[in-house]
Amino acid sequence: MTAKSILIVEDSAILATCLREMLTRLGYRVAGPLASGEEAVAFIATEQVDLILMDIELAGAMNGITAAEIISRKTPVPIVFFTGYSQNSLLEQARIADPYGYLIKPVPERELAATLTMALHRYDLDRKLKHSRQALAENELKYRTLADSGRALIWTSGPDKLCDYFNIPWLRFTGRTLEQELGSGWTEGVHPEDLDRCLRTYGTAFDHRQPFSMVYRLRRADGVYRWVQDDGTPRFDSAGAFLGYIGHCLDISEQLQNIEALRQSEEQYRRIVQTAQEGIWAMNARMETTFVNPRLANMLGYAPEAMLGRPIDDFIYPDDLDDHRLRVKERKQGRDGHYQRRLRHREGHFIWTQVSATAIVDDAGQFNGSFCMFTDISEHKRQEEERKQLQAQLRQAQKMEAIGTLAGGIAHDFNNILSAIVGYAEMARDKVSKDSPVARDLHKVLTAGARGAALVEQILLFSRQAISERIALQLSLIHS
């Protein structure tokens, strides 16, 4: 450890020499001796020492007290006075220089050693205390600046539950002075409906030395009550002694309004989803059910909760699984889809649905699932099938009608030919003997003609699609 340096200011050469020898034996480094106050002031202006041992009465115009005052204004070096008279009135004047000790001549070495040790120790403590106070002041200024430059409304309270500090943002917010807010004055700004709950929360936390968080309405400078969130934390010193609380408040009125608007919006969309006529189905990246609305669950004969967590494959009609998996690949590639799909009902039959499917991707573009809307088109499909059957029947009827028209035309022409054949055969039969072979042949021709006439009648009946009715007619001869 480096020896401390001491400057001797003494106009008596004998005493100065004696002091120098004692200080050297005590292990100090000695500067001087100097004989006048002027010399001491000039010396300190250029040199540094750890302590000045100075006589009050010196040679020259400047005594030790004046020199000490000048030196103290320039440097904080400690000064110990010594004098030959213990009741000297100069000792009273010396207090102005705030010395670190007094010595009465002659000075015993033991007393000199003790006085210098205590003076240097006190100076070291004073220097550390000064630095601590300076650092504390700087920290306090820094934290006050930090507290006053933010948006938070900051307060502190002592162990008596009374508030002893509010930052500038708090005072600006409330429009009140620090004096008005100190103690329990701040409670005047709390909404009357919230005050009891606010004080009860604070008091309970205070009694248990626990952090707290509460929301209440605080009156702003314009008279409008704003919702604030107040978070308080107990303070303790290094020994664990309770010092009070520090808290900060944030105006959360807009957040609460946004939350309420979001809640109302979510409630509105929830009602829309719950009452939608379309089935809504949401799936995760593994195509497992994460949500179904009542319409979809009812469409398949399930309770909504019975479908959650199950893969959508469980509800696809088996014949459509290959196409379904192809569509899933498209979703995973980020492509939407619109198509028809058969879903399997809980009782085993299938229902036809029209599907609108959308891929769900995160901010990084990764597939997170699918959102689908299903419309039951089973009735539409049934009506479409009936329409197809009716169209087929109509086409068949039109074909039959065309065939009937064709057959009627053919039968009419054939009937004319047949009438001629039958007529000439009858006339030929009348001209030959009834027993002749020709008569027998003509009989066969007439029999075939009768069968042909019956066939023509059936064809005409088919072509007209009407019931034939035979009536008796009175024929009259036509005279030519």
The CATH T-level fold of domain 5-129 is Rossmann fold (3.40.50)
Question: Bigger pLDDT: 125 or 188?
Answer: 188
Q: What pLDDT was estimated at residue 218? A: 95
Is the pLDDT assigned to residue 258 strictly greater than 70?
Answer: yes
In the predicted model, is pLDDT for residue 95 greater than 70?
no
Question: What's the rounded mean pLDDT across residues 352-381?
Answer: 88
pLDDT in tens, 171-191: 999 999 999 999 999 999 999
What pLDDT sits at residue 81?
A: 82
For residues 56 and 45, give the distance between their C-alpha atoms in angstroms, rounded to a whole number.
20
How is 196-250 classified by DSSP, letter by letter?
HHHHHHHHHHHHHT--EEEEEEEE-TTS-EEEEEEEEEEEE-TT--EEEEEEEEE
How far apart are the two ends of the chain, measured CA to CA in Å? 173
d(CA 203, CA 61): 69
* pLDDT > 70 fraction of the chain, expressed in percent and rounded: 90
**Cα separation, 110 vs 123, whole angstroms:** 20
Query: Selecting from 3.40.50.2000, 3.30.70.20, 3.40.50.300, 3.30.450.20, what CATH number does the domain 150-257 have?
Result: 3.30.450.20
- Homologous superfamily of 276-376 in CATH? PAS domain (3.30.450.20)
Residue 159 tokens, joined: 């162990």
pLDDT band at 448 (very low <50, low <70, confident <90, very high): confident
Given a cut of 50, is residue 466 above it in pLDDT?
no
Place of tokens 């070096």: 77
150-257 and 276-376 agree in CATH topology: yes
Residue boundaries of the structural domains of the chain = 5-129, 150-257, 276-376, 394-464
The answer to whether residue 461 scores a pLDDT higher than 60 is yes
**Single pTM value for the model:** 0.43
What percent of the chain has pLDDT above 90?
Answer: 31
- 223 sits in the region (left: phi over 0; alpha: psi -120 to 50; else beta) called left
C-alpha distances (whole Å) from 103 to each of 17, 19, 85 are 17, 12, 10
Cβ proximity of 115 and 101 under 8 Å:
yes
| Cα of 132 vs its chain's centroid, Å | 44
Q: Determine the average pLDDT of the residues in 435-451.
A: 84
Which carries the bigger pLDDT value, residue 14 or residue 460? 14
Phi, psi (deg, nearest 5) at residue 8 = -95, 125
CA 203 to chain centre: 33
Does the pLDDT value for residue 438 go beyond 60?
yes
Pairwise CA distance, residues 78 & 95, whole Å: 13
Whether the per-residue pLDDT at 471 is higher than 80: the answer is: no
Q: Which residues pair with 316 in a beta bridge?
A: 343
- From edge to edge, which strands make up the β-sheet containing 242-251? 163-166, 153-157, 242-251, 225-236, 212-219
Question: Which residue type occupies 332?
Answer: K
Mean pLDDT of the chain: 84
Could you report the per-residue pLDDT of 328-340, keeping only the tens digit for each?
Answer: 888 888 888 899 9
- 446 Cβ contact partners less than 8 Å away, ≥ 6 residues apart: 422, 425, 426, 429
Candidate from 162-166, 197-201, 223-227, 438-442 with smallest mean pLDDT? 438-442
